[in-house]
Structure 1
Amino acid sequence: MAFAAAPSPIPSRTQYVLEAIKHAILTGQLPPGKPLVETELAALYGVSKTPVREALKTLAGTGLVVMSQYKGATVRTVDAAMAREVYDVRLLLEPEALRRTITRRASLDAAGLALATADTAADQAERSLANREFHRALYLPCGNPLLARMLDEVRDQAALVSTVAWSAEPSWRREADEHRRILHLAEAGDADGAARALHDHIASFVQRAFPEDAQ
């Protein structure tokens, strides 16, 4: 009996380059609008241009990189319109996903662990990654894999918005307090209260970072 071949994993060199470029983008080492030259990145990471090219294509698919026939690849630029577009998706989907997670009485241990990691983070990069894991731990157990995947698809873009906003005005202490309140309500089984708190948390961040009168 013949079995279908499993999908081929991303080659290890491509994965290495992908994670390295993503980390550089999400920590501000490669700022928005920065050209991503294949030869330069290949030399930096000690690989050929092929894994660099494949990594950039993948990052373009996640929204972190923009590919242009004439300009090549660049780090995506963050402006108010882009930020509100990404956060609008989160506002529509993430509170409902959390409500379902709580209703299902799914474990929130991963969210607590991520919150503790963020509190003891050594730098902005580690804190940003922990914050992303906190939010994912709230929506991942919602019981609807498609809903979770849709939110996963905007995670990197949301992180890019946060990186730009934090560079202008670090607000992670306030966000940490809001995270603790959300988790407290969720652990208490208050689905509506936790969903409202999460909605307010997401909305207030983008309003502070990209106020309407700044357009």
Structure 2
Amino acid sequence: MAFAPSPIPSRTQYVLEAIKHGILTGGLSPGQPLVETELAARFGVSKTPVREALKTLAGTGLVVMSQFKGVTVRTVDAAMAHEVYDVRLLLEPEALRRSLTRRASLEPAREALVKADEAADRAERSLANREFHRALYLPCGNPLLARMLDEVRDQAALVSTVAWAAVPSWEQEAGEHREILRLALAGDAEGAARALHDHIASFVQRAFPEGDHA
């Protein structure tokens, strides 16, 4: 008999989501130390759920654990940005192509675009943009491919948070999202995949032009 994995305790989940929200909205800056005792006091919990939350965040690439520096918010530089976006460029257009070949519903993607247009702040817009991209690759028919893209979602969001703080380019990206969806709704799998590739590539090149994307 197979046993399901134990769920993350509620206190750990609460701390995890709170720290992640702080990182992805810019409330916690790249390179900022994350001290267990301070976080435990802030959230009114013991150090144990904080420690477990930080371990999980290290696994998703949002924080870095060092023997000498302790735990810090991951720093975003050109090398890190291009590394994350390389994975997206390799996998995401193919996942979209497969989703369209399977005639998957595009309604979740359409709903995510509406949410992005109606977003009250940068954090809501970023979340809606993540939902849009996920709605395109999730129904690709290959759970492993979808999981691999899920694993870089948080790091991609961190890159965009840092990039938007320097160059607010969400209006251009919103237009590119609409064009990707238009091609997808028209059944043009190759055109939509090409537009998605160009969208991902242009963002990272615009935000981190000094990066070597060899």
What is the match of residue 172 of structure 2? 174
How far, CA to CA, are the matches of 1:181 and 1:147 in structure 2? Answer: 24
1:45 equivalent to 2:43? Answer: yes
Unaligned runs of 5+ in 2: none
Contact 2:112 2:131 in 1 (8 A): yes
Counterpart of 1:36 in 2: which secondary structure? coil
1:58 equivalent to 2:53? Answer: no
How far, CA to CA, are the matches of 2:75 and 2:24 in structure 1? Answer: 12
What is the match of residue 107 of structure 1? 105
Counterpart of 2:26 in 1: which secondary structure? coil
Deviations 1:64-120 (A, max 9, x none): 000011111000000000000000000000000000000100001100011100000
What is the match of residue 156 of structure 1? 154
Alignment of 1:1-215 (within 5 A): 3-212=1-210
Aligned pair count reads 213
Tell me the TM-score normalized by structure 1: 0.97
How far, CA to CA, are the matches of 2:133 and 2:153 in structure 1? Answer: 9
Counterpart of 2:72 in 1: which secondary structure? strand
How far, CA to CA, are the matches of 1:121 and 1:43 in structure 2? Answer: 32
How far, CA to CA, are the matches of 1:14 and 1:52 in structure 2? Answer: 6
How far, CA to CA, are the matches of 1:53 and 1:213 in structure 2? Answer: 33
The CA deviation at 1:45 is: 0.8
Name the stretch that deviates more: 40-49 or 155-164. Answer: 40-49
Identical amino acids, percent of aligned pairs: 85
Unaligned runs of 5+ in 1: none
